[in-house]
């Protein structure tokens, strides 16, 4: 499997095809926007009944990433649950999640969907500073590492999750299974990372410069996630 | 309109009879039969037979007798919005002339919301609509009130509707209407079809009225000065002959099978248009304006010929056309007959049509088609034995929006609909379960079911859901289109191609669009970048969905023709010589046997299988056989599929085809291949959209198609991993086997032609040579899309003057 190493404010990081970020020096795996329990929330609100397997799929992928990187700690950058009720509805997956949290030093950053993931092992904070970098859900004053926007980038006809790496902000793609995304050049994202690099995830990782050279502007500003 | 019956039967009310007289018309026999029909009736009439009037005579008569009470009397359903407008105008005339009390309104997606709301409270006497709008109306709680007074339903172009899921949906709605208005009468109006009884069955049973077919059509091959080429589909060799025929006729329609071929042939025709006759081009990729202009020019009599694709196939009135020329084999006898009907859009003069085969194989196909027309034999269209289950899922949800459902009563109602008469209770329950709970192996939503059972009735749990369900009505899932632009810097748009076609292109491939040959450079965002390449022959034609495969009946006739030396007398000399040479060098395909051959040329071994199973099945065969050849270390390099054969080349000879063609192995291979196939994912997207798992339209926001493609792939992968037997995967699999893969025809080929005949030929055979010239070769490659990504990323970094400053490290998985 190909991964891609890069530096951000004097720290080395490894972008992984799964959309997870590994921080070797800290032994930490950072993921954003797990959106566990999304299908349940949609069902509750009378929406489409999506296959109720995404929580399991996401947790299986997360466990595999922790195993492959040998990470000692796990940092979730918010919107880990699709809403508060999603934590209550975890069912059989709760055990999987508790296993993960018990074996890894877990930090839950709160997001806009899940103000407080109570009742699970680990520490809860609305933000945290490590090595001069702020870890938070939504990018503010940098340098920070955040999630929230679910950045996507179109490359060779595919629309893929992407890490955006600018001067002040490092923005992670969503790790959850049923998450749509916002194009990297949508106004909100282009304002945060006007230039720099993007690492496209998916089956492999590929680094591209930002803004994309000679790009014909895509129709920006579309969320595919139901919010 | 010419008269067949000089005396007006008494059943026509006097004012209406006088009105007919005043127009100088008298009703056709079949029109009167439709008026007199006491039960549901299906009219089969050729183009120009006054079908629509036949459908409405009963309504007009009722209006003359003052029988229009309060409420809806007649519902007219047509597949085309444009038709509802035309019909509205045509009906308004007698109604106004006779001063009848009869309010006529249409209701389509274009109808303003205020009018739609009013129609729900105060419906007109005659409502003209589309299947989708009807489904929507049935989802409202007022449906019983709106439709309770219904006396008559007229379904126009029912033969066209019967070929798609729209027909399934309409028949389900019709069944509901029968429950709401038990005494209503249905009139189906159809063009000529092979099997009127099957269409009547599709309607749920009807008496069949067949209009006088008129004189036998005058149909033959167009004499050409040169013999057709060995391969190709363009027909350009005959441009001068076609031009001569155009000059001799008043107005000629030149039909050709694909849009790209229409473009090419139009150019070829233009090049030999020495007299500068006004000729036009009409196909679906042209802008609406361009099409309208051509239609208007035709209507004014300003054109002498129009080169067209199927975009002209339905519903329009081409009164002055006196010659139809079909370029390329018609692929389907029924379609040929319907197209001939375009010529002399009058009932009493014979249609004149000429066929131009595009290559030598097509000469055989054209002769076989002519023999079939002469014998009055049409082909079937292989309709699914049971209507779409995804359509049923949507129907259940829609009805639940209107009122709580009784499952037993609904099952009885659904199985009264023609396409669902064979529906099993198990399948119905699976759809019901999908609608209620999502139908997952893991019962995750017990508390949040979409439908809940209370007092024996299924209720919509959350009324908010109704809006989203209604917004996603319909069974047409349009393919995603990408804009083609010239040059890298946002040059002029040239047209649109399907995403699937774009994804299959490699840089350097050439294709034709908007009348010019272009070279594919790259795909960027939603734009396909190309460079004009006027000097190069386009390798790949613009591809619109699946190409129509030669029908089973026609293929069988071609095979029969080849196998019967006595029948060769009907063939041109160059064709019978060609067949005789094939018989000497290798073997001739025969009915009842499956013929293949193998030979060597230029360091490659070629394996040709004469399946006569149609293009789509041969495409599938090519993929499956190359896969099995790879397994057997025969090192296949590529293949090409036509309607008649599949030609595979590789590094090793195929000495015994039996292990490759073992049905069990092919079936297993198909399952594996299908599961991973991108087309399967597209089929799943369509099924999931129709069934309501993916919502195209959400209250407040419209999901763009591109994003739906993305999320449906994830849903597909998730389902396949965690719930492989889910009902939507079963539907997808069944549809892919039938449509995309056409596996049914492969099975049939293996069953009916069990005896394998294989020969090792000394060199290229006369039959294989045209295959080797065929365009659209498919190389066997693996991780093509990954490589494209890699190239594109590296190119961008290089262009920006950057290197992958980080280390792209290979780490063990």
B516-524/B697-698 β-pairing? unpaired
CB contact under 8 A, B701 and A214: no
Selected residue of A2, A12, A14, A52 to mutate for chain B interface (largest B Cβ count, 10 A): A52
Average pLDDT (B784-802) is 61
Which candidate, B775, B328, B327, B285, places its Cα nearest to that of B540?
B775
Contacts of B490 in chain A (CB under 8 A): 216
Contacts of A154 in chain B (CB under 8 A): 524-526
Q: Which residue in B has a C-alpha nearest to residue A218's C-alpha?
A: B525
Of A57, A159, A208, the CB nearest to B706: A159
Contact between A82 and A37 (Cβ < 8 Å): yes
Q: How many CB pairs under 8 A join A and B?
A: 173
pLDDT the model gives residue A218: 32
Give CA separation, A173 vs A15, A29, A183, B215, B491, in Å: 10, 14, 11, 69, 32
Selected residue of A5, A50, A58, A211 to mutate for chain B interface (largest B Cβ count, 10 A): A50
Which candidate, B585, B589, B583, places its Cα nearest to that of B556?
B589
Distance (Å, rounded) from C-alpha B348 to C-alpha B306? Answer: 24
Lowest mean pLDDT among B219-223, B348-352, B706-710: B706-710
Contacts of A43 in chain B (CB under 8 A): 438, 444-445, 448-450
A203 in reach of chain B (CB within 8 A): yes
Average pLDDT of chain A, as a whole number: 86
CB contact under 8 A, B804 and A4: yes
Between B456 and B703, whose confidence is greater? B456
Of B448, B718, B799, the CB nearest to A57: B718
Selected residue of A42, A51, A65, A91 to mutate for chain B interface (largest B Cβ count, 10 A): A51
Q: Which of residues 749-808 of B touch A (CB under 8 A)?
A: 785-786, 788-793, 796-797, 799-800, 802, 804-808
Between B182 and B379, whose confidence is greater? B182
pLDDT the model gives residue A169: 97
**Minimal C-alpha gap between A75 and chain B (Å):** 22
Q: In a 3-state reduction of DSSP, which class is residue B72?
A: coil
Q: In a 3-state reduction of DSSP, which class is residue B323?
A: strand
Contact between A75 and A29 (Cβ < 8 Å): yes
Average pLDDT (B244-259) is 87
Of B711, B790, B811, the CB nearest to A224: B711
Q: Which of residues 97-126 of A touch B (CB under 8 A)?
A: none
% of chain A at pLDDT higher than 70: 91
Selected residue of A36, A37, A49, A174 to mutate for chain B interface (largest B Cβ count, 10 A): A49
Contacts of B463 in chain A (CB under 8 A): 46
Contacts of A223 in chain B (CB under 8 A): 701
pLDDT the model gives residue B492: 65
Residue range A131-140, pLDDT digits in tens? 999 999 999 9
CB contact under 8 A, B710 and A177: no
Distance (Å, rounded) from C-alpha B47 to C-alpha B342? Answer: 7
Selected residue of B445, B472, B687, B701 to mutate for chain A interface (largest A Cβ count, 10 A): B445
Cis peptide, bond prior to residue A143, ω within 30 of zero: yes
Distance (Å, rounded) from C-alpha A171 to C-alpha A138? Answer: 9
Q: Using the predicted structure, report yes or no on whether residue B709 has a pLDDT greater than 80.
A: no
Lowest mean pLDDT among B523-532, B567-576, B589-598, B682-691: B523-532
Contacts of B703 in chain A (CB under 8 A): 224
Contact between B360 and B400 (Cβ < 8 Å): no
Q: Using the predicted structure, report yes or no on whether residue B588 has a pLDDT greater than 50.
A: yes
Distance (Å, rounded) from C-alpha A25 to C-alpha B433? Answer: 51
Burial of B388 per CB tally in 10 Å (0-12, 13-18, 19+): buried
Q: In a 3-state reduction of DSSP, which class is residue B67?
A: coil
pLDDT the model gives residue A186: 85
Average pLDDT (A51-55) is 89
**Minimal C-alpha gap between B455 and chain A (Å):** 21
Cis peptide, bond prior to residue B368, ω within 30 of zero: no
CB contact under 8 A, B438 and A158: no
Contact between A40 and B448 (Cβ < 8 Å): yes
Contacts of B718 in chain A (CB under 8 A): 51, 53-54, 57, 177
Q: What does the DSSP assignment read for B756-771?
A: EEEEE-SS--TTHHHH
Q: Which residue in A has a C-alpha nearest to residue B783's C-alpha?
A: A203
CB contact under 8 A, A177 and B804: no
Average pLDDT (A143-172) is 90
- ipTM score: 0.83
pLDDT the model gives residue A14: 97
Helices and strands: H and E segment counts in chain B: 30, 29
Contacts of A54 in chain B (CB under 8 A): 718
Contact between B520 and B505 (Cβ < 8 Å): yes
Q: Which CATH superfamily is domain B218-374 in?
A: P-loop containing nucleotide triphosphate hydrolases (3.40.50.300)
Q: Using the predicted structure, report yes or no on whether residue B194 has a pLDDT greater than 60.
A: yes
Average pLDDT (B541-553) is 59
Contacts of B786 in chain A (CB under 8 A): 203-204
pLDDT category at B245 given cuts 50, 70, 90 is very high
* Location of structure tokens 């080395």: A12
CB contact under 8 A, B438 and A43: yes
Q: In a 3-state reduction of DSSP, which class is residue B119?
A: helix
Between B445 and B586, whose confidence is greater? B586
In this structure, CATH architecture of domain B14-210: 3-Layer(aba) Sandwich (3.40)
Average pLDDT (A181-205) is 90
CB neighbours of B117 closer than 8 A, spacing ≥ 6? Answer: none
CB contact under 8 A, B442 and A47: no
For B631, other C-beta atoms within 10 Å of its C-beta total 12
Q: Which residue in A has a C-alpha nearest to residue B804's C-alpha?
A: A207
Kindly state the tokens that stand for A13: 């990081």
Of A3, A47, A200, the CB nearest to B793: A200
pLDDT category at B153 given cuts 50, 70, 90 is very high
Helix (H) or strand (E) run with residue B129 in it: strand B126-129
Lowest mean pLDDT among B269-283, B531-545, B619-633: B531-545
Q: Using the predicted structure, report yes or no on whether residue B317 has a pLDDT greater than 60.
A: no
Contacts of B796 in chain A (CB under 8 A): 208-209, 212-213
Contacts of A177 in chain B (CB under 8 A): 714, 718
Between B617 and A26, whose confidence is greater? A26
pLDDT the model gives residue A157: 60
pLDDT category at B776 given cuts 50, 70, 90 is low
% of chain B at pLDDT higher than 70: 78
Average pLDDT (B45-53) is 77
Distance (Å, rounded) from C-alpha B511 to C-alpha B261? Answer: 11
Contact between B254 and B283 (Cβ < 8 Å): no
pLDDT the model gives residue B759: 92
Which candidate, B393, B392, B400, B390, places its Cα nearest to that of B140?
B400
Selected residue of B434, B718, B724 to mutate for chain A interface (largest A Cβ count, 10 A): B718
pLDDT the model gives residue B362: 87
Contact between B611 and B617 (Cβ < 8 Å): yes
Distance (Å, rounded) from C-alpha B252 to C-alpha B244? Answer: 11
Distance (Å, rounded) from C-alpha B258 to C-alpha B233? Answer: 9
Average pLDDT (B631-648) is 84
B39 in reach of chain A (CB within 8 A): no
Between A117 and B645, whose confidence is greater? B645
pLDDT the model gives residue B300: 79
A213 in reach of chain B (CB within 8 A): yes
Predicted structure pTM score? 0.75
pLDDT category at A145 given cuts 50, 70, 90 is very high
Q: Which residue in B has a C-alpha nearest to residue A195's C-alpha?
A: B800
Q: Using the predicted structure, report yes or no on whether residue B812 has a pLDDT greater than 70.
A: no
% of chain B at pLDDT higher than 90: 28
Q: Using the predicted structure, report yes or no on whether residue B708 has a pLDDT greater than 50.
A: no
Distance (Å, rounded) from C-alpha B154 to C-alpha B43? Answer: 11
Average pLDDT of chain B, as a whole number: 81
CB contact under 8 A, B793 and A207: yes
Contacts of A53 in chain B (CB under 8 A): 440, 442, 718-719, 721-723
Lowest mean pLDDT among B488-492, B565-569, B771-775: B488-492
Which candidate, B601, B505, B566, B501, places its Cα nearest to that of B258?
B501
Q: In a 3-state reduction of DSSP, which class is residue B23?
A: helix
Of B785, B796, B812, the CB nearest to A208: B796
pLDDT the model gives residue B257: 77
List domains and CATH numbers for chain A. Answer: 4-210 (3.60.21)
Of B444, B692, B810, the CB nearest to A40: B444
CB contact under 8 A, A40 and B526: no
Selected residue of B397, B444, B689 to mutate for chain A interface (largest A Cβ count, 10 A): B444
Is there a shared CATH topology between the B14-210 domain and the B218-374 domain?
A: yes
CB contact under 8 A, B722 and A53: yes
Burial of B548 per CB tally in 10 Å (0-12, 13-18, 19+): middle
Size (chain B), residues: 813
- Name, of A101-110, B24-33, B185-194, B256-265, the range with top average pLDDT: A101-110
Domain boundaries along the sequence of chain B: 14-210, 218-374, 481-544+784-798, 586-781
A64 in reach of chain B (CB within 8 A): no
Which residues pair with residue B597 across a beta bridge? Answer: B608, B759
Residue range B99-146, pLDDT digits in tens? 998 999 989 877 888 998 899 889 999 999 999 999 999 999 999 999
Residue range B273-293, pLDDT digits in tens? 899 999 988 876 666 666 777
SS3 for chain A is: CEEEEEEECCEEEEECCCCCEEEHHHCEEEEECCCECHHHHHHHCCCCCCCCCHHHHHHHHHHHHHHHHCCCEEEECCCCECCHHHHHCCCCHHHHHHHHHHHCEEEEECCCCCCCCCCCCCEEECEEEECCEEEECCCCCCCEEECCCCEEEEECCEEEEEEEECCCEEECCECCCCCCCEECCCHHHHHHCCCEEEEECCCCCEEEEECCCCCCCCCCCCCCCCC
* Location of structure tokens 């920070």: A144
pLDDT the model gives residue B699: 56
Of B448, B527, B722, the CB nearest to A43: B448
SS3 for B594-651 is: EEEEEEEECCEEEEEEECCCCHHHHHHHHHHHHHHHHHCCCCEEEEEECCCCEEEEEC
Average pLDDT (B313-337) is 72
A227 in reach of chain B (CB within 8 A): no
């Amino acid at each position: 499997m190909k991964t891609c190493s890069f530096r951000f404010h004097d720290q080395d990081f490894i972008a992984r095809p799964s959309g997870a970020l590994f921080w070797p020096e800290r032994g930490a795996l950072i993921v954003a926007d797990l959106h566990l329990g999304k299908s349940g929330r949609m069902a509750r609100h009378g929406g489409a009944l999506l296959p109720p397997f995404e929580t399991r799929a996401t947790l299986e992928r997360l466990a595999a990433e922790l195993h492959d990187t040998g990470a000692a700690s796990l940092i979730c950058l918010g919107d880990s649950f699709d809403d508060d009720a999603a934590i209550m509805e975890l069912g059989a997956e709760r055990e999987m999640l508790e296993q993960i949290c018990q074996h890894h030093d877990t930090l839950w950053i709160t997001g806009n969907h899940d103000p407080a993931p109570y009742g699970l092992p680990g520490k809860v904070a609305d933000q945290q500073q490590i090595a001069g970098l702020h870890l938070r859900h939504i990018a503010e004053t940098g340098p920070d590492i955040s999630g929230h926007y679910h950045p996507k980038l179109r490359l060779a006809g595919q629309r893929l999750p992407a890490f955006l790496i600018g001067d002040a902000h490092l923005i992670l793609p969503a790790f959850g299974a049923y998450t749509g995304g916002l194009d990297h050049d949508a106004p909100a994202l282009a304002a945060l990372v006007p230039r720099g690099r993007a690492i496209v995830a998916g089956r492999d990782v590929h680094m591209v410069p930002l803004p994309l050279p000679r790009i014909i502007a895509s129709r920006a500003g579309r969320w595919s996630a139901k919010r | 309109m010419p008269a067949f019956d000089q005396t007006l039967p008494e059943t026509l009310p006097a004012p209406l009879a006088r009105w007919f007289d005043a127009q100088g018309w008298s009703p056709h026999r079949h029109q009167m039969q439709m008026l007199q029909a006491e039960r549901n009736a299906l009219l089969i009439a050729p183009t120009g037979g006054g079908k629509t009037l036949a459908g409405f005579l009963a309504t007009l008569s009722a209006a003359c007798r003052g029988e229009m009470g309060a409420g809806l009397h007649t519902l007219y359903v047509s597949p085309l919005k444009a038709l509802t407008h035309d019909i509205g105008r045509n009906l308004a005339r007698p109604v106004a002339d006779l001063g009848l009390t009869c309010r006529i309104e249409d209701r389509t997606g274009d109808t303003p919301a205020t009018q739609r709301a009013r129609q729900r409270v105060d419906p007109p006497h005659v409502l003209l609509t589309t299947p989708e709008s009807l489904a929507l109306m049935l989802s409202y709680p007022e449906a019983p009130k709106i439709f309770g007074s219904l006396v008559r339903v007229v379904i126009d172009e029912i033969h066209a509707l019967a070929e798609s899921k729209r027909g399934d949906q309409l028949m389900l709605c019709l069944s509901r209407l029968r429950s709401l208005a038990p005494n209503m009468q249905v009139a189906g109006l159809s063009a000529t079809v092979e099997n009127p009884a099957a269409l009547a069955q599709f309607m749920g049973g009807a008496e069949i009225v067949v209009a006088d077919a008129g004189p036998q059509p005058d149909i033959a091959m167009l004499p050409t000065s040169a013999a057709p080429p060995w391969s190709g589909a363009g027909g350009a060799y005959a441009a001068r002959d076609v031009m001569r025929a155009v000059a001799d006729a008043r107005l000629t329609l030149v039909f050709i099978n694909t849009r790209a071929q229409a473009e090419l042939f139009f150019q070829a025709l233009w090049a030999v248009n020495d007299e500068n006759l006004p000729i036009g081009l009409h196909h679906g990729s042209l802008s609406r304006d361009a099409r309208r202009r051509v239609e208007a020019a035709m209507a004014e009599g300003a054109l002498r010929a129009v080169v067209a694709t199927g975009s002209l196939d339905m519903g329009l009135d081409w009164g002055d056309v006196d010659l139809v020329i079909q370029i390329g084999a018609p692929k389907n006898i029924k379609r040929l007959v319907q197209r001939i009907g375009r010529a002399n859009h009058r009932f009493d003069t014979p249609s004149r049509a000429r066929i131009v085969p595009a290559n030598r194989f097509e000469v055989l196909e054209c002769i076989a088609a002519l023999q079939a027309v002469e014998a009055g034999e049409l082909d079937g269209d292989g309709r699914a034995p049971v209507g779409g289950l995804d359509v049923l899922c949507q129907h259940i949800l829609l009805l639940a929006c209107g009122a709580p459902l009784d499952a037993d009563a609904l099952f009885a109602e659904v199985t009264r609909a023609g396409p669902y008469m064979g529906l099993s209770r198990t399948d119905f329950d699976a759809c019901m379960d999908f609608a209620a709970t999502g139908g997952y192996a893991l019962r995750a939503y017990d508390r949040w079911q979409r439908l809940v059972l209370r007092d024996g009735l299924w209720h919509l749990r959350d009324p908010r859901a109704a809006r989203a369900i209604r917004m996603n009505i319909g069974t047409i899932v349009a393919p995603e289109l990408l804009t083609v632009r010239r040059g890298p810097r946002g040059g002029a748009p040239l047209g649109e191609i399907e995403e699937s076609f774009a994804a299959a292109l490699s840089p350097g491939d050439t294709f034709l669009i908007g009348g010019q040959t272009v070279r594919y450079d790259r795909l960027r965002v939603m734009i396909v970048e190309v460079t004009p390449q006027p000097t190069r022959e386009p390798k790949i034609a613009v591809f619109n969905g699946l190409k129509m495969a030669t029908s089973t009946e026609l293929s069988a006739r071609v095979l029969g023709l080849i196998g019967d030396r006595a029948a060769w007398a009907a063939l041109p000399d160059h064709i019978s010589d060609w067949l005789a040479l094939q018989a000497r060098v290798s073997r001739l395909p025969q009915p009842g046997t499956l013929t293949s051959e193998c030979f060597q040329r230029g360091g490659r071994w070629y394996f040709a299988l004469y399946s006569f199973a149609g293009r789509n099945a041969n495409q599938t065969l090519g993929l499956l056989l190359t896969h099995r050849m790879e397994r057997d270390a025969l090192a296949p390099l590529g293949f090409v599929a036509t309607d008649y054969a599949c030609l595979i080349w590789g590094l090793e000879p195929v000495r015994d085809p039996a292990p490759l063609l073992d049905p069990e192995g092919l079936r297993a291979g198909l399952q594996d291949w299908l599961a991973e196939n991108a087309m399967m994912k597209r089929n799943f997207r369509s099924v999931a959209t129709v069934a309501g798992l993916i919502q195209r339209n959400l209250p407040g926001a419209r999901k763009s198609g591109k994003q739906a493609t993305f999320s449906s792939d994830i849903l597909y992968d998730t389902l396949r991993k965690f719930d492989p037997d889910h009902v939507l995967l079963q539907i997808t699999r069944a549809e892919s086997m039938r449509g995309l893969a056409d596996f049914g025809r492969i099975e049939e080929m293996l069953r009916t032609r069990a005896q394998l005949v294989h020969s090792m030929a000394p060199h290229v055979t006369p039959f294989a040579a045209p295959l080797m010239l065929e365009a659209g070769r498919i190389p066997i490659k693996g991780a093509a899309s990954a490589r494209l990504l890699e190239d594109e990323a590296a190119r961008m970094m290089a262009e920006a003057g950057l290197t992958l400053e980080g280390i792209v490290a290979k780490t063990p998985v």
